[in-house]
Each structure stands twice: as structure tokens, then as C-alpha cells.
Structure 1
Amino acid sequence: MQMSSPGLSLRIGILACFLWLTGTSAHAALDIEIFGGGATQIPVAIVPFAAEERLEQGVTPIVAADLQRSGLFKLVDPAGHAPHEPVEVVYPDWSARGTSALVIGSTTLVPGGQVAVRMTLLDVARQTQLASYAETVSIGQIRAASHRIADLVYEKLTGDAGVFSTRIAYVVKEGKKYSLQVADADGFNAQPVIEYTEPIISPTWSPDGRQLAYVSFENKKPVVYVQTLATRTRKAVANFRGSNSAPAWSPDGRRLAVVLSLMGGSQIFLINADGTGLQRLTQSSGIDTEPSFSPDGQSLIFTSDRGGSPQIYRVRIGGQASATAERLTFEGTYNVSPEFSPDGRSFTYIHRNGDRFNVAIQDLATGQVRLLTDSRFDESPSFAPNGKIILYATEIRGRGILSAVSSDGRVKQQLSTQAGDVREPAWGPLPGAR
């Protein structure tokens, strides 16, 4: 049985390739457009860092862009006020501007092409210091240092981990070339991981962020590869007879769930990360595909049509293949592409809503479903590692782009290149994960 619909593809059998049109530069940044904002935005003033005008790239605009992109902050114009040390801050002036938090700092050139970056985050109402940051980096690492500052500000003001220092992976179609690319979360520093004239799909990050698993059709059939990003070395870990697709990493990074047609039909198997130790997990008369591990590694959610239409199911990971699994979705006749939230309390997926295919989120405890988007053809939702944002692919005016939506649906972003189609997004882990 084949499950298909406009704009969506389940990674099963000989997968249908996306009809992608034109391309984009491998190093181009993604343009980001923000819509909406949080219910209550925190007013933050960011004073331009001292001496950053001497740098090719300043710290202040990067930190400001990161915070604004989250939709949780309202940026207050410093309007000529330029304190760079806590003793220089006149708190009543900032209170009068409606400022809740103040970011001040400096950059100092040091020998060897290095820059000393310092930042202090202040609570205006309490007139206290919330956090400080100091690091010496190369000039080329200013952007990375700025993201770390934004992460610290975000964490101290919201209580959640910031994700501005993370990376994303996605696939770009340029002419007849498919390129798997990795970029910073804000779209900068895009680099190709691998390029072929055959489709590349389903990238997924290892828990430590050092490797990507993906499916390549370079040998005229779907094969699962694992590639180490630092060395660019790679290995085919699932190249069995028939189709090999839809890899998903276990939380400990030791195993992958993959979808194979090795024994007839598309079913979910577990293998070690080096391709050994094949073990069948599901056994049904339908198509089981698109697995996603729970954060504790004890279960998988996946897409299956075993009940007659594609729905999301959950199965415990045990020693024997089983035809039984718990059905999780009951609203509508088409629910696909599930991914667990980082806290394991919910999952995101694609839900058919009339003639639209939208990103949804469902609470596991209550079964409550919330639609987060209202576009026509959304696909491949991927949680940010803090669970607050979902990255997905969509289609605007016939062209594939990436978009993001907050897990409460209030903040939406469109991430696009100047030309070409971008698909198959996957959000990487927090730096230093595991």
C-alpha cells in the first residue's frame, strides 16, 4: 500500500522525489522574516558594546537579532545612552524607558588577532546583576561568541535554554544537484556536507551533534549513511536489499532506528550506529515508517497505515518484534512525520486539515491537539532542543522554504534563500550535548 498526498512524502519504498525548481548558493545565509510575538514580551535594552565599531562584525546586532527572532523580547532603543560597566548605569533612566533588563559590554582587541568580549546582564527593577560573560576569541569567532551571549540572556530571562548556538541541517536543490547543508540556527555559515545529482533526504543529528545520518539515492536506491562532520568520513550503515530509509538516532547515540523493506513491506528495525546488530522492531501488515525515539530511549513513535489510514503510533522497545502498538492520533484521516518533544511530554507531526497539511502538536498525557500553522503544504517538523520552536519545510508561491513556529503557535518565522528550494530540515542538539 502506498500513502501519499500533495506536498508530503512518507519515506517508504522507492520514495517519490520532490519537484524542486531552482537552486541557491551553498554559502548563502537564510533570510529570516518574523511574524507575531509572545503574549508578554520582556523589554530588553542592548547598549552597543564598547569598541565594537573596530570589528568587521559587531556583537550587538547579532545578540539583538537572536533575541528578537525568538519573539519573546521587545528591544528598547538605548537612544544614545552608552554605559559599558555596571557602575555607569543610571537605573532610573532605564526604568523610565520601560526597560526590564539591560545588556552592556565591551570588546577589546588583544595580540594575536584575538578579541576579549565581556558582557553583563542587569535587572533594572532590582538594580542587580543577573549574569556576566567573559571570553577571548578569534575575530572569526565573534558571531559564535555573540550567540553564546544571546543564549545566556535568554536562559536568565526565560528560564529555558537558549538555542542560538545550535545548528540546523537541510537539503537544497540547485539545478540537478542536491546538497545537504549545515548552518547556524540563524542561517549563517551554511556549508555543504555532501552533494549529489540524486536525491538526499531525511537528515538527522546524532545526540552529540558530531554526525548526521541521512538517506542518499546516489546508488539509484535509498541507502542510509552516517557521516562525521569534522572529518567528512562516512559509512553506509543500512544498505540491505530493497529500501533503506528514515533513520532516527537513539538518545544515547549507540543505535539507529531505520525503515527497511528487507523482509517484505516497510518495517522498523534497530541497528547499531556502525551498522551491525540488526533487530526487527515492528511487524505489521501495513507500512511502518518515520520513527522517532522518546527522550528516555524506551519507546518509539512512528507513522503506520496498519489501521487503514496513516496515523501515529507508539511502541515499546523490547526484545521481540510485535504487531501491536498504541495508536496516538485520532483526529482526521492523515497524521504523519512525528517527532518527540525534548521533554517527552508531547510530539509534533503533520496533520491534514481539509486540503491543507499543517504542523500540529499533541500532548501525550491528555491527547489534546493544537494546530500551529495554516499554510498549504507543511512537512518534516523538527523540534529545537529546548522544545520551544519547531522548524519545518513549507511551500510559498510554489517554492520550498523553511519556516519555524513557536510551540504555542504565537511566533512564526520564514527562512528562505534568494532562489531555490529548501527542504528536509533537522534541528541539531545543544552544544556540548551528551
Structure 2
Amino acid sequence: MQRRRFVLGSLFAPLVRGAASFVGLAALANSAQAQFKVDVSGIGATQIPVGIGAFRDLNHCPQPIADIVRADLTRSGLFAVSNLGGETLTEQGPPNYAAWRSQNLEAVAGGSVAQVAGGRWQVQFRLWDAVKQADLGGLALTVMPGDLRLAAHKISDYIYQKLTGQRGVFATRITYITKAGQHNFSLNIADSDGANPQFALRSREPLLSPVWSPNGQELAYVSFETGKPVVFMQDVRSGARRAVANFKGSNSAPAFSPDGGTLAVVLTLTGRSQIYLMPSKGGTPRQLMRSYSIDTEPTFSPDGQSLYFVSDRDGGPQVYKVGLNGGSVQRITYSGGYNVSPAISP
């Protein structure tokens, strides 16, 4: 079957990362309460019709594996998902290509869930190409009960990659900050669909700008617990944390290099917000470039050889690019007078 190919960027890039360089904290708080609307166009007419059958023995499983897979694929916007009318379909099939094509399905998946020794669960699944009448392979996962949702997300990633040619992100996690009351801030971690939320940190002072390390084992974020913005690093598994950028003035907008060895931060050592590079384990910062403007919101290029950032050097905030060894700065955005928060697609 001829697959539809999609080039996707991040739909929800961080709205504010180091934006305090442009606006006061009070304005930041007010903007967080503002309505934000995202219009997504171009999705719908090109959706791939996929059938996900009911997994055998699913009623005995503490997590609705097939429902999670369907929800993942539906949420991506790239698939028109059918439940095959509630029909049970295991990884053994047999594939009914004629019936599936009569339903205009391009691909169909089925599977089973069974409890095995040690309180673990075995999740098996298989995917078929209904157009080419071909077996596209599958997965066999043995997990503890707490990882059943992760197993479902891995199945979704498998289907996504087979049908689009791109890696899925359903088995990843998200981090975000919540505020409840005047002095109750929380750094949270959850599955990509928002399920299984957990507190990574609670604080009476504001928290900002959480970012994942490339290996997914640490988070960098900004905390005001000392009375000023300081960049902390925290181990996700153990909860151990340390200040990695606690220099004179403001420390904000952390960003990891692709290899995780370097951290870009925005410091006000000279009185203005400037971008510095430093080891992600901590150390002496190196100023990337010197300017009389506000430079903030650094983001590494995928190859780790340059940085995109926001600066008001031409009047209003625009996106620029510079090599890690400094040198000439290239302006990237020209349309409009306010362009911020660069986010680079994989």
C-alpha cells in the first residue's frame, strides 16, 4: 500500500521559556491565565483508516489495552480508527483481508493479554496491511501491572511508525507545572496522554521552564525557592536535585544539547539577559556571544552545532541562529513583529 507521509513538528511548543527577560513576572502570571487557541488544519482528508480489534482476554486485564491504542492513534489526528464493530481479533488472526477492504480499512491490528508467572502480564499484538495483504509484524511484551499502559503506548508507536514511516512518541512522557493557590506549585510527570500523573517536586515558590535531558533520566527547570530564579537539575527516578546555575542575578531558560553534555542557560551576569554554555553537570559558564540586546530562549539544533534563540536586537523579539563557537548571527524570522519560542522538529 502507498503510505501517506507526514512531516510533523511539535504541536505544543513551550509558550514561555525565559520570557521574563521580555516581560515582568506579573505579566507572565496574567498571560498564563489568557485564552490560548490552536487551529490545526490539513488533517482529516488524509487520515489513514485503521481497525483495532478487541484483544482476547482483555476483560481480565486492569488496563484497556486496545482502547488506549485507539485513543493514541485518534489523538494524533492522522488515523481514522475503527474498533471492528467490537470483534475480537488476536495476534494469530486469521487476517480477513476481503472483509477489511470492504470496510475501506488500510491496516488492522489485533492481540491478546494474559497474566503469567510473577504477577506479570504478557501483551501480544500483530499488524496487517489490508491493501497489500501482508503481515507487518508485531510485538510480544511481558510487563508488570504498572507498565501495562506503557505496553499499549509501545504498540501505538509500532503502528504509527509502520504506517507513517516516522517514530511515534506515545511511549514518551511529558513534564509540566501546575499552580493551585498562591503558594502551591508542582512539577509533574505523566504519560504522553496525561495519564499516570506524578509529582516530581512541590514548592511554595514559582517553578518554570522544565526540560527533559536527552536520555530521559533528568529534568532541568527554574525554581524561585531561593528568592531568585535558579536552574536546578533533578534525577527523575531518585528525586535527587542540585543547583547547576546559581550565579549572580537571574538564571533561566535551560536547554540541553542533543548529547546531554552541555546546558544552555540565560544569565544576567552583565546586567542583560545573555546566553551561556556550561557543562550539564555544573561548572563555569561560557558566554556564547556578547550583545547590547536581550538574548533568551536558546534551543539547540538537532546536530548540536548551533543554537536558535530569541533576541530584541532589531527592535522587537525575533528568532536568530548562531554557531556554538559564536561568530555571525543569522536572523531567521522576518514576518511579524513578535516571534518567540523556537522549537526544532526532529
**TM (normalized to structure 2)?**
0.88
SS of the residue 1:40 aligns to: coil
Q: Deviations over 1:310-346 (max 9, x none)?
A: 111111111xx66x4111111111111112222xxxx
> 17, 21, 25: which is aligned to 1:12?
21
Q: CA deviation at 1:227?
A: 0.8
Does the Cα contact within 8 Å between 2:293 and 2:312 map onto a contact in 1? yes
Find the aligned partners of 2:155 and 2:201 in 1 and give their Cα distance. Answer: 31
- The aligned length equals 324
Find the aligned partners of 1:38 and 1:84 in 2 and give their Cα distance. Answer: 29
1:353 — aligned with what? none
2:338 — aligned with what? 334
Point out the structure with the larger strand share: 1
Report the aligned-residue RMSD: 2.3
Q: CA deviation at 1:266?
A: 1.1
- Structure 1 residues 154 and 177: alpha-carbon distance in aligned structure 2, compared to 1, 3 A threshold: same
Point out the structure with the larger helix share: 2
- Structure 1 residues 81 and 339: alpha-carbon distance in aligned structure 2, compared to 1, 3 A threshold: closer
Find the aligned partners of 1:211 and 1:306 in 2 and give their Cα distance. Answer: 33
Identity %: 46
SS of the residue 1:145 aligns to: helix
2:53 — aligned with what? 47
Find the aligned partners of 2:87 and 2:173 in 1 and give their Cα distance. Answer: 34
Does the Cα contact within 8 Å between 1:292 and 1:339 map onto a contact in 2? yes
> 220, 223, 226: which is aligned to 2:227?
220
1:290 — aligned with what? 297
Find the aligned partners of 2:39 and 2:69 in 1 and give their Cα distance. Answer: 16
Q: Which residue type is aligned with residue 341 of structure 1? A: S
SS of the residue 1:338 aligns to: coil
Task: Spell out the pairing of 1:135-284 with structure 2 (5 A cutoff).
Answer: 135-175=141-181, 176-284=183-291
Find the aligned partners of 2:118 and 2:221 in 1 and give their Cα distance. Answer: 40
Q: CA deviation at 1:34?
A: 11
> 285, 302, 313: which is aligned to 2:309?
302
Does the Cα contact within 8 Å between 1:258 and 1:268 map onto a contact in 2? yes
Q: CA deviation at 1:20?
A: 6.9
Q: CA deviation at 1:35?
A: 7.3
Find the aligned partners of 2:337 and 2:138 in 1 and give their Cα distance. Answer: 51
1:95 — aligned with what? 101
Does the Cα contact within 8 Å between 1:222 and 1:243 map onto a contact in 2? yes
Does the Cα contact within 8 Å between 2:320 and 2:331 map onto a contact in 1? yes
Find the aligned partners of 2:148 and 2:336 in 1 and give their Cα distance. Answer: 48
Q: Which residue type is aligned with residue 21 of structure 2? A: I
SS of the residue 1:284 aligns to: coil
> 97, 105, 116: which is aligned to 1:110?
116
Does the Cα contact within 8 Å between 1:11 and 1:246 map onto a contact in 2? no
Q: CA deviation at 1:83?
A: 3.2
Q: Which residue type is aligned with residue 288 of structure 1? A: D
Find the aligned partners of 2:340 and 2:22 in 1 and give their Cα distance. Answer: 16
Q: Which residue type is aligned with residue 307 of structure 1? A: D
Structure 2 unpaired stretches of 5+:
1-14
Find the aligned partners of 1:77 and 1:193 in 2 and give their Cα distance. Answer: 36
Point out 4+ residue stretches in structure 1 off by more than 6 angstroms.
Answer: 20-23, 33-36
Find the aligned partners of 2:272 and 2:32 in 1 and give their Cα distance. Answer: 34
Find the aligned partners of 1:67 and 1:281 in 2 and give their Cα distance. Answer: 42
Q: Which residue type is aligned with residue 285 of structure 1? A: Y
**TM (normalized to structure 1)?**
0.71
